[in-house]
Amino acid sequence: MADPLRLYGLRALVTSGGSGIGEAVARTLVKHGARVLAADTVNSGVDHHFRSVKGIDGLTANLVDPAKVPELVDEAADKLGGIDILIAEFPLAVEAPLADGDAQLESLLERRAALVRALCESALPHLKKSPAGRIISIGFLRSLFAENGSEAFEAAEQDLAALTRKLAAQKGEYGITANYIQPGAIMTPASREVFRKNKALRDFCIQNSAARRLGEPVDVAKVALFLASDDSAFVSGTGIRVDGGNNG
């Protein structure tokens, strides 16, 4: 059974919270006692998606422009009465899965880093007031990368790892932890569309997972719950892969 007191009194802002991993995280956190603001893009339907879910409010926001992030944080803090937990995931997509050496990767990583930094800096005044400040970044899905994109996928994780270590070092004096989750091939709506068009990539992901299956958003959400809770109070600057194990 869920422990309704595990996150009792804590307030979470979940970006990209209208579907996929973000939605699963939002539902998991509220199930364990947190109040959640799930933010997503204008066309996501997030503003009415959670109307029947007690403890979750949906909010549309600009999640691709770092300059707009402070507005989101201010509105979230106003609605929640503060912020204790940040779940950082942003809707950065490409037209086709990235292969190793793709020139798009560098700009994609720069955009992600700018958004994560903007979110964390805007929320810092609120996190500093929290008895349990948590920053949890969600890495890019494996479906963003082609079959011959394993090196690019690794590079994207290493970039997020470096950013997370820096955040942990900078915010640690305030009692704030910063960690990341690196999903593998998780069956989100975005992944489903990629795999519908590219069944070879889907099969590749399954074959390269020791679990011999695709993951579900809730698999990631359970790890986010651990990192958001007091169980991870002395865990910071690190990452957890949620990919069923590597078959290589």
SS (H, E, C) 99-155: CCCCCHHHHHHHHHHHHHHHHHHHHHHHHHHCCCCEEEEECCCHHHECCCCHHHHHH
pLDDT above 90 covers a percentage of the chain that reads 93
β-pair partners for 209: 246
Q: Taking the CA atoms of the chain, what radius of gyration do you get in angstroms? A: 17
Q: How far is Cα of residue 157 from the mean position of the Cα atoms in its chain?
A: 13
Rounded mean pLDDT of the chain? Answer: 95
- Cβ partners under 8 Å of residue 144, min gap 6: 93, 94, 97, 98, 153, 156, 194
Query: Higher pLDDT residue, 232 or 4?
Result: 232
Domain chopping of the chain, boundaries: 11-242
Confidence of residue 5 (pLDDT cuts 50, 70, 90): confident
Confidence of residue 1 (pLDDT cuts 50, 70, 90): very low
Q: Residue 228 has which token pair?
A: 């958001």
**What is the CA angle 29-34-35, rounded to 5?**
110
Q: Which amino acid, 96? A: A
Task: Tell me if residue 48 falls in helix, strand or coil.
Answer: helix
In the CATH hierarchy, which top-level class contains the domain 11-242?
A: alpha beta
Instruction: Residue 89: name the closest of 235, 173, 190, 214 by CA.
Output: 190
Give the pLDDT score at 227.
Answer: 98
**Tens digit of each residue's pLDDT (9 = 90 or more) over 72-107:** 999 999 999 999 999 999 999 888 999 999 999 999
**Tens digit of each residue's pLDDT (9 = 90 or more) over 166-194:** 999 999 999 999 999 999 999 999 999 99
Is the pLDDT confidence value at 33 over 90?
A: yes
Q: Residue 222 has which token pair?
A: 């359970």
Q: Are 115 and 90 in contact (CB under 8 A)?
A: yes
Query: Higher pLDDT residue, 6 or 15?
Result: 15
